[in-house]
Amino acid sequence: MKTSRLVVALAVVGGSFYGIREMKGCVSSAAPDTRLAGHIDDICKIARANIETPAHGVKQLGGFLGAHLGDMTGELGDTLAAIETTRDDDKHDERARTARSRILAPLRLCAGDLDRFAQAVSTDEEASELMAHFSERFNRTIEIMLGERAAIRTLEQRLDTLLR
């Protein structure tokens, strides 16, 4: 899948956050990257099922992300922590490769479905309006929370200094 199509597909998935509604998930003792991959697979199923109904799909994905985005970001953080706390460099690298494989597997399997869903959203007026509304709202949220670009650069510089 070309990078630009992946970006569009991920933007559609992220943009669908607008249609938030409650959905229940299950807690698992599986590795965090495996749980994250399961969430990605769920997103793929929603996109696949809504290629013909993109506005409904945007709302459904929004509901899913509303219910699971915190879990997903936590699982990503937990995956990074599991990798970075592995002392042995060879085991560290192998764990990172395993995480990459687990996380990307469902994306590779549904790349075509995500592309078709993204295309359907882009050609459907209602779905496009939902996406535009989300983008404006999400950007506003980030600006309110994190401030202008200068504040982000300051944070990046401080993190860079700490990591040296």
Cβ atoms of 32 and 134 closer than 8 Å: no
Q: Which mean pLDDT values do the consecutive 10-residue runs of the chain (164 residues) have?
A: 48 43 50 97 97 96 93 96 96 97 96 96 96 84 76 70 69
Q: What is the DSSP string of 88-141?
A: SHHHHHHHHHHHHHHHHHHHHHTHHHHHHHHHHHHH-HHHHHHHHHHHHHHHHH
The reported pLDDT for the residue numbered 138 is: 80
Q: Supply the range of the domain harboring residue 122.
A: 3-163
Q: What is the DSSP string of 5-51?
A: HHHHHHHHHHHGGGG----------S-HHHHHHHHHHHHHHHHHHTS
Please count the structural domains in the chain: 1
CA distance 133 to 62: 12
The reported pLDDT for the residue numbered 25 is: 44
At residue 150, what are phi and psi to the nearest 5 degrees? -60, -40
Cβ neighbours for 78, distance < 8 A, ≥ 6 positions apart: 32
Q: pTM higher than 0.75 for the full model? A: no
